[in-house]
Structure 1
């Protein structure tokens, strides 16, 4: 059994319920949003208006949990370690699968994730020194707004990774080649220009760490769509839990 097959079996069997950072190297990781069909076109319009925030890689047919664009075996009901539920735009707990919640009108959207962008940076020889310090990145709500569309609107959420200035310049060029994984950073440098206080993240993997000689680099984040649900208030919505992604069959080199 391949490492990917072992990972998928662990997720489907409930043995892997934690974050997916560094899970199944080489496989593209995706953010997820699931909505009733009548809300799908509005959300698709918002994604199209904000491609760096929600670069859609796959969209399901109503009621179909499969996403063939990401692999014939993908099943959005079982292939994420944890899911968040929203009802009328308000958080309503977490679940380990969607088997009991799935309905004939639900539509799934999957879009690129910065975990895979990190892998692309490593492949290009960019040093991610923060990893050795036990820091895996942090996400922040900014004072910038996304483009409202289809009844959806949200403040921009970004992920931050600290890099040496020369590495940050290279990271801009490399990430620009991957628009499906959020593309180039939205900002490099002073977090105050985004209305951010580094010590106050929405979430973080490890303690927030920016070493001497590093600059914070901020990319658009796939958590932003979760905030858009608060504005649109669909009766039901399902997303990934932060850092608990859909690991697809799609290979990074295919992007």
Structure 2
């Protein structure tokens, strides 16, 4: 035995960097459980295997979206009917985003998501749907041209932010609020920069904005400047203006960064 090696104690087993002792030592090996078809199949549900599935979701997402180009994530209720004015507004927004040079990313479901995908697809732009495995069957809507289904919300949420240059949020429920406040937190803490967030529907969102202003900001739980992270409007012209101005700012920052790079002028 190499004297530099640490001998295994009785009742001790090593799985790579993991050391198991006592009651934690399990009979057999991972390879045995993998190759022995007579063994139990529940190994595929263990945490180490789950890590590989999580990794695969990130790899698939990064691979599929790496060449997407400028895009905007659009959120809103899956329960919005096709005759709702907000549905029609989301269709128009999808069309206008494509006209402004953006792709459209949604959760891939029905309602507002379907509407934004429909507008983008009909305008000849890139229409992306990032679906999620749910207890009830939903599936990607028919207007998604590039679709990815995720098992894990956090992998999916990373794609919404990483490959978008802003969020437009229509009236929605818990899922919409989850995406809204996560994006606000990322912008507030500087995890993402030059990232506009626009709420469409003043009658729907004004109560929330009043609460943020009258309770959170008034009690110093957030700063008054944090309220400026959100634009509230009913006007799609204003939505496009906010997104375009943010895009111009981002491009200017990128040019400045290149100019500061040693050797960039050579």
Determine if the TM-score, normalized by the shorter chain, exceeds 0.5.
no
**Higher Rg of the two aligned structures:** 2
